[in-house]
Structure 1
Amino acid sequence: MSALLGVAVLGLGLSALYALASLGIVLIYRGSGVINFAHGAIGLCAAYLWFELHVNHGWSYPVALLVAVLAAAAAGAVIQLGLMRRLASASSLARTIATLGLLISLQSLVILRYGTSVNVVPSALPTRAWTPGGVAIPQDRAILIGIALVLSAGLWWIYRHTGFGRATSAVAEDQTLSAAVGVSPDVVATVNWALGCGLAALAAVLVAPIITLQAGGMTTLVLAALAAALIAEFRSFPIAFAASLVLGVGQTILTSYMTKPGLASAVPFLVIVLVMIVRGRAVPLRGHVASRLPVAGTGRVRPWLVVAGVAAVVVLGTVLSDAWVQSFGATFALSLFMLSFVVLIGYVGQISLAQWPLAGFGAWVAGRLVAGQGMPLVPAIVIGLLATVVLGVVIALPALRTRGINLAIVTLGLGTALDLMLFQNSAYTGGLMGTSVQLEIGGWNFDGGAHPARYLLVCAGAFVLVALVVTNLRRGLVGRRMLAVRTNERAAAALGIGVRSVKLYAFAVAAGIAALGAILFSFSVGIVDYTVFSSFHSILYLGLTFVGGIGFATGPLLGSPLAPGTVGTQFGTTVLSGLAAYLGLIGGVVLILSVLLNQDGAAKEMAQRLRHLTGHLRRRKRPDTAARTAAEKTIRTRVGPLTLTVDRLSVRYGDVLAVDDVSLTVEPGRIFGLIGPNGAGKTTLLDAVTGFARISSGRVALGGKDVTRSSPVVRARAGISRAFQSLELFEDLTALENIVAATDPTSRWCYLRDLVYPAPLKFSAGVLDAIGEFHLDQDLDHVASVLPYGRRRLLAIARAVAGGPSVLLLDEPAAGLSGEERRELVTVVRRLAREWGMAILLIEHDVEFVLDTCDELMVLNFGRAISHGPPCQVRNDPAVVEAYLGGETPVSVPSEVIRP
């Protein structure tokens, strides 16, 4: 027992590092909403500054420590003011990329200055041990954990009981509202960034004597501190401290008693995965609106450009030296790998930091089959790809319950765990020399060292084929589903698009692409070094894809030359001697500049210039509504008549009863209006009917069939459609693609067919009718995000109508419309009920619109129905007047005063 306690005590040093680092991460997140992936790199730079001053220049320990902490704090303030403030309204991807750019740049600077050697540094803390009860307690560990405890308690008190702490909490809740009451979000964020980075410096300097000082080591350990911050939900300092204590001690104990290499080091990352799976949600809550992501390309292929590229490759393989030819081959192979980011992030918006370790798994399977089992190369590669696809689906499972920056953290944990447990274990990777393989098919050898021209042709050919597959996906039905999920998961689910299926498919396809690229890249010289498949490289390659254009198939080709081992390295070695050593720093700086200046990437600029040069304007396929005959315009198929029944439905959020025992029935051909003050529970009721809110009690039935426990996708496919109050359009798709997305077939066959032959746009009668009803003919080619608000509102309703649902739910459809547009909408809604046969449930704040439109009316107040009946009866119900006016009940109340 004493031995176990002794080992546990030794873990206090690691716990202190985790605690101090996690406190800084929490500080920055609370103040600015940014998870700083560069936290460890900032601490690393500060530790080396302290090392330079104290060890190399003889400064006293306290003075050198103070200078390092102040320098890091100043750097934090500069990062917020110069970078993060300009990205305040950017997507989580852009902010994540910015911190990753900082990580790459700072770590590259340290390597350039100090190399990668290990530096043993002195400790200013006493290193003797106390021995109470026979258990040795190193004094430095105890002091470190004591410092972390005092800091966590102090920060808890400051942020709970001081004006600055309350201001930080206000900014975290709502920046706009806090600014309105005189709290500056910029000031709060800057102070928190300075404090957080100062803590990073303090942690790095204090713990450096225990873990040594080397480039990369501090970064990996601080990334593990994300687990503690995550358990604390990036808010609670005491919980972050307690979690750090458990993680550090637990990891040290496992290291001492486990024989499986890497498993103990992977524990924090596995904790990250477990926590996110438990806490995640399958569909975002109401109010979740994805920030703008980089533009996705059209997927259009220019044959002449492909032919010209192939010809250029042939010429390069003929005229260049072997070293240059091999570097071009490696560039194409790495570009092929980076296409996985285009599919996963560019098309579906799923931020994965595990792609390179995942790809390494495919290379590991294939390499071990060839080297250990003597299997021919082709079947080994096929098995490696299939194994990686399976693992990609496994990694995708957490993505079903989380998204955005949280997903990035989860995949970082998974990728790092895979690296530590597999690639860092020489027993699994063929020993210290790596795995020996031969690139040979049927006696034809295309080893990059022996036959560089052949290697170039294979890599370039593979890239072209996979790029065509990626562009096929973008142009087809699957591409529309992907972009719909990327833009708005709630809206996609409400149209019957299987969000889970799309995510799993994207992870699977991206995994296969990544594995093929990694195999070609790592097998090039016959010896595979699996230690290169770290999460740090995954971060680097993601950043370079972003620079090139993460939504374009050509983006990887434009970004990959900045990666080690590619054309950029060859150029820096032979043309500009010494430049190769600076590629990491150049890549990091370019990445930061790209986030600030051009988040869509270089590929978009290139495509625009190419269109301008060739004078070619892309012609979209669009429906010819004018060509329809008068008979076709007047005869439309009525929707399937289904009645929506809500029976004693209640929705509870904690102690708040948002909807309380509400019952209603909406019949085909009739319009049921729902009104009430703000916060009455109207939209929550619609969320419950469509499956986006958990029902506490009660029942929802469609056509007599109970759908209470059905998912939003199942309900949408059964015949329930919805137009959201906040529109929730697919901003990256055109108006036409938005409408067509509601009518695309739900068959899964397209997931295979679109890889080869993308399904063209098809215009059903419902699409044509919806376009005509809402007069959207002139808006079809415009991307939804550029349309005026009124047209966007009508587009949202048209999209909900196009699929011909039996039940249509409209949440404030007249909001933002002009008087004339409102009058036209009254006519259209009536026609949808009378001529299309829809059962319509309508929420609207304009009671005059409701009275002119609805056949039946219900009033909610504090979640309960207080009146129900014909509009003329409800209009003068004393309970309704009391709810709205709170006074004496007049004999008759004009409709214009009853406005929620």
Structure 2
Amino acid sequence: MEDLIRFALVGLGVGAMYVLMAQGLIAIYRGSGILNFALGSIGMVGVYVEWELNVNRKLPFLVAALIGVLVSAGLGALVQMYIMRPLRHRSSLIRVVATLGILLTLQSLAILRYTSVPKSIKSALPVNRVNVFGDVFVTAERLILVVIAIVVTLGMYLLYRYTKFGLATSAVAENERVASSLGLSPNRIAVFNWALGSGLAGLAAILIAPIVTLQPTVMTGLVLAATATALVAGFRSFPLALLAGLLIGVCESEVNMQFPDLPGVGKAVPFVFIVIWMVVRGQAIPQRDYLLQKLPSIGNGRMRWSLLVTTVAIVGALLLSSPNVWVDAYVVTICFAILLLSVVVLTGYTGQLSLAQFAIAGFGAFVAGRLASTQGWPFIVCLVIGVTATVPLGILLALPAIRTRGINLAIITLGLGTALELIVFANQNLTGGVQGTLIDSPTLFGYPIDAGAHPGRYGIVTLVGLVLMVLMVGNLRRGRSGRRLIAVRTNERAAAALGISVRSAKLYAFGVAA
């Protein structure tokens, strides 16, 4: 019982950081209607600035932390003014993709500047142990974090409830056009909310860095757990976000205690919250605002054979004549192109935004690699089984799509994909221990195609695979199945009225894309 309470108190500290990040998400969403997946990376910039000033420049922690928070706030305001504002009339899918692009850009820049090696940071908060009762002790740092989360939540609630700024934000969220007619500036309000939300993200990152270490991927990953917190709060209620964040933190800590031999299970708790909440609260029939969104135009699927043949010939020549380092880059590009074709089917043809496609691809590679390593099966057999194994996973991801769509679907697929990474890919018990999965040199019908010894041959194999997938996707677009998917993308209600099974179309699209 004491261990249960002790781990619950430890989880409150982590949950408090989820709360701070979630408050930033809510502020930005209320002010601009955008789910900002880049918030964690914006907070990451603030904590690196604080670390640089405090550790390398020897500035006091409070001064360095204040500058870091202001840098995050300023960066958030700039993102809104110069990136998100021009996209304000585009669909929510495009705006979500834009925030993901910002996330990857900032994360890559941080890795180039500071590398991906974790950095240990000494906490500026007191870390002495506090006796709660009996033999239950917890560091004062965790309790202070909870107090900070409560104070910030109270401040945000009062700000948005009783001040002119909060009332103006609510007015813009309800009806931007009417608010503009009353003299309010939606753009200015959005900038202020982005600055406030990004500043909170910087504060959260600075406070949690001593607990989780300073690392670009860790900092940006915090926003995923915060998304679960904000989701439960409906992206509106600050007090509810406080309760949800603390609860998620406690559950995460308790799961880690109960399953110490399963790394990553505790971190998957927020994504379980996402799945359950979205499935329970989702709607099978889309709302009117989703139907009115403008989506990009799509091609007709017709092949320009001269262009295709010329491109294949040029790429094939490059694969056979270029240095190995360039061939490796070409092969990676070709593999990414194959992966992006799944996005074409799912998002381009069906209008479903899935952020789990890399996880699905990784699962197929995991299955094929383990079969080749443990069973010694031929390359082509493992390839076919690996591809086939992704289809049920894709259909499983499609089940929530029946009741969710748009941003909500992006959240749930990202959660499922991240949970798969944490539970399966990061589990050494499943991936072959410390050495990982060792695979013998592959052969195709007795012909060696090892990427290390024969990179050109392997590149030709991947190029052939890309051409086949391009032809398949083009044929899908021109066929009856493609027209059904496009009808669902255009208007689900109208498609259902014409006798098209929206449910079957989505399951089919997710299965093919997988």
TM-score, normalised with respect to structure 1: 0.56
Instruction: Please give the secondary structure, in 2, of the residue aligned with 1:83.
Output: helix
Contact in 1 for aligned 2:378/2:442 (Cα 8 Å): no
Larger radius of gyration: 1
Equivalent residue in structure 2 for 1:409, among 408, 411, 422:
411
Contact in 1 for aligned 2:262/2:427 (Cα 8 Å): no
Residue type of the partner of 1:157?
Answer: L
Alpha-carbon distance in 2 for matches of 1:203, 1:4: 26
Alpha-carbon distance in 1 for matches of 2:221, 2:194: 21
Identify, as 1 or 2, the structure richer in helix.
2
Which residue number corresponds to residue 5 of structure 1?
Answer: 5
Matches within 5 A, 1:46-57: 46-57=46-57
Alpha-carbon distance in 2 for matches of 1:254, 1:314: 51
1:398 deviates by 0.5
C-alpha distance after superposition, 1:105-152 (max 9, x if no partner) = 211221122111222222222111221322213211111110101111
Which residue number corresponds to residue 464 of structure 2?
Answer: 461
Distance 1:375-1:290 versus aligned 2 partners, 3 A rule: farther
Contact in 2 for aligned 1:13/1:210 (Cα 8 Å): no
Distance 1:318-1:63 versus aligned 2 partners, 3 A rule: closer
C-alpha distance after superposition, 1:21-67 (max 9, x if no partner) = 00111110011001111111111110011111112111111111111
Residue type of the partner of 1:109?
Answer: L
Which residue number corresponds to residue 326 of structure 2?
Answer: 324
Which residue number corresponds to residue 452 of structure 1?
Answer: 455
C-alpha distance after superposition, 1:838-887 (max 9, x if no partner) = xxxxxxxxxxxxxxxxxxxxxxxxxxxxxxxxxxxxxxxxxxxxxxxxxx
Distance 1:64-1:313 versus aligned 2 partners, 3 A rule: closer
Alpha-carbon distance in 2 for matches of 1:17, 1:341: 33
Equivalent residue in structure 2 for 1:476, among 475, 479, 485:
479
Which residue number corresponds to residue 637 of structure 1?
Answer: none
Contact in 2 for aligned 1:91/1:290 (Cα 8 Å): no
Residue type of the partner of 1:394?
Answer: L
Distance 1:164-1:326 versus aligned 2 partners, 3 A rule: closer
Which residue number corresponds to residue 265 of structure 2?
Answer: 263
1:388 deviates by 0.5
C-alpha distance after superposition, 1:707-728 (max 9, x if no partner) = xxxxxxxxxxxxxxxxxxxxxx
Residue type of the partner of 1:319?
Answer: S
Alpha-carbon distance in 2 for matches of 1:287, 1:322: 51
Residue type of the partner of 1:95?
Answer: R
Instruction: Please give the secondary structure, in 2, of the residue aligned with 1:137.
Output: strand
Which residue number corresponds to residue 657 of structure 1?
Answer: none
C-alpha distance after superposition, 1:767-791 (max 9, x if no partner) = xxxxxxxxxxxxxxxxxxxxxxxxx
1:339 and 2:337 equivalent? Answer: no
Which residue number corresponds to residue 186 of structure 2?
Answer: 185
1:20 deviates by 0.5
Which residue number corresponds to residue 121 of structure 1?
Answer: 121
Residue type of the partner of 1:339?
Answer: L
Equivalent residue in structure 1 for 2:444, among 441, 445, 466:
441
Contact in 2 for aligned 1:326/1:449 (Cα 8 Å): no
1:374 deviates by 2.3
1:290 deviates by 4.3
Give me the identity figure in percent: 51
Residue type of the partner of 2:410?
Answer: A
C-alpha distance after superposition, 1:663-716 (max 9, x if no partner) = xxxxxxxxxxxxxxxxxxxxxxxxxxxxxxxxxxxxxxxxxxxxxxxxxxxxxx
Contact in 2 for aligned 1:228/1:244 (Cα 8 Å): yes
Residue type of the partner of 1:353?
Answer: L
1:155 deviates by 1.2
1:257 deviates by 2.1
Alpha-carbon distance in 2 for matches of 1:70, 1:314: 51
1:497 and 2:500 equivalent? Answer: yes
Matches within 5 A, 1:613-632: none
Alpha-carbon distance in 1 for matches of 2:320, 2:169: 63
Alpha-carbon distance in 1 for matches of 2:160, 2:53: 33
Matches within 5 A, 1:373-412: 373-412=375-414
1:103 and 2:103 equivalent? Answer: yes
Which residue number corresponds to residue 369 of structure 1?
Answer: 371
Contact in 1 for aligned 2:290/2:406 (Cα 8 Å): no
What RMSD over aligned residues (CA atoms) do the two structures have, in Å? 1.5
Matches within 5 A, 1:856-875: none
Residue type of the partner of 2:489?
Answer: R
1:250 deviates by 1.2
Which residue number corresponds to residue 84 of structure 1?
Answer: 84
Distance 1:310-1:106 versus aligned 2 partners, 3 A rule: closer
Matches within 5 A, 1:54-69: 54-69=54-69
Equivalent residue pairs, number: 511
Structure 2: stretches of 5+ with no match in the other structure: none
Structure 1: stretches of 5+ with no match in the other structure: 512-900
387-396 vs 314-323, which moves further: 314-323
C-alpha distance after superposition, 1:452-478 (max 9, x if no partner) = 222122111111111001011111222
Alpha-carbon distance in 1 for matches of 2:289, 2:318: 53
Which residue number corresponds to residue 425 of structure 2?
Answer: 423
Instruction: Please give the secondary structure, in 2, of the residue aligned with 1:132.
Output: strand
Instruction: Please give the secondary structure, in 2, of the residue aligned with 1:131.
Output: strand
Distance 1:161-1:325 versus aligned 2 partners, 3 A rule: closer
Instruction: Please give the secondary structure, in 2, of the residue aligned with 1:447.
Output: coil
Equivalent residue in structure 2 for 1:294, among 281, 293, 296:
296
Matches within 5 A, 1:435-584: 435-437=437-439, 438-511=441-514
Q: Compare relative contact order (CA 8 Å, sep 6+) and give the higher one, 1 or 2.
A: 2
Distance 1:315-1:81 versus aligned 2 partners, 3 A rule: closer
Matches within 5 A, 1:631-650: none
C-alpha distance after superposition, 1:303-324 (max 9, x if no partner) = 2222223332443344333443
52-61 vs 325-334, which moves further: 325-334
Which residue number corresponds to residue 144 of structure 1?
Answer: 145
Which residue number corresponds to residue 242 of structure 1?
Answer: 243
Alpha-carbon distance in 1 for matches of 2:37, 2:2: 38
Contact in 2 for aligned 1:290/1:488 (Cα 8 Å): no
Residue type of the partner of 1:494?
Answer: A
Instruction: Please give the secondary structure, in 1, of the residue aligned with 2:8.
Output: helix
Instruction: Please give the secondary structure, in 2, of the residue aligned with 1:436.
Output: coil
Residue type of the partner of 1:444?
Answer: Y
Alpha-carbon distance in 1 for matches of 2:377, 2:203: 53
Residue type of the partner of 2:487?
Answer: A
Instruction: Please give the secondary structure, in 2, of the residue aligned with 1:136.
Output: strand
Residue type of the partner of 1:64?
Answer: A
Residue type of the partner of 2:473?
Answer: V
Identify, as 1 or 2, the structure richer in strand.
1
